[in-house]
């Protein structure tokens, strides 16, 4: 008999870039389709403002230095903001926005030690 390993999904709504946005600022703003922009386009628009101000370059999904730019204090901020958002989710049940990426990061940090 094979023992099944538990599966735990790590999700971010509306898209992964919302997790990156939390590195800069807390927000519980719902992201929805706006005109011809998807909800993720709207997140990217907000992220772009912070990214350009912090790094003097535009954010790009395909850039290889995202981790290097966001580790340290910015990652600590993102974890704090995600936990704050989780508390709001438990109160309201709203999943837009929502992330549990911080749980994965904290787990990886715990096994690194």
Pairwise CA distance, residues 48 & 83, whole Å = 23
pLDDT at 29 over 90: yes
Please list, in sequence order, all residues whose beta carbon lies within 8 angstroms of the beta carbon of residue 27, skipping any fewer than 6 positions away.
21, 46, 81, 97
Local confidence band at 56 (pLDDT 50, 70, 90 cut-offs): very high
Q: Give the pLDDT confidence of 68-106 residue by residue, as tens digits.
A: 999 999 999 999 999 999 999 888 888 899 999 999 999
pLDDT score of 14 more than 90: yes
Helical spans, DSSP H, in the chain: 16-21, 39-55, 66-70, 73-92, 101-112
Instruction: Check whether 6 has a pLDDT greater than 90.
Output: no
Position 93 scores a pLDDT of 86
Say what the pLDDT of residue 94 is: 87
d(CA 64, CA 43): 20
Evaluate the omega torsion of the peptide bond into residue 16 and state whether it is cis, within 30 degrees of 0.
no
In this prediction the pTM is 0.90
């Amino acid at each position: 008999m094979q023992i099944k390993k538990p599966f735990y999904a790590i999700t971010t709504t509306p898209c992964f870039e919302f997790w990156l946005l939390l590195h800069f600022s807390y927000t519980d703003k719902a992201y929805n389709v706006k005109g011809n922009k998807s909800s993720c386009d709207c997140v990217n628009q907000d992220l772009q403002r912070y990214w350009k101000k912090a790094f003097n370059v535009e954010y790009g999904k395909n850039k290889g230095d995202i981790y290097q730019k966001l580790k340290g204090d910015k990652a600590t901020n993102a974890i704090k903001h995600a936990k704050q958002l989780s508390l709001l989710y438990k109160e309201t049940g709203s999943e837009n926005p929502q992330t549990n990426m911080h749980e994965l990061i904290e787990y990886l940090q715990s096994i690194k030690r």
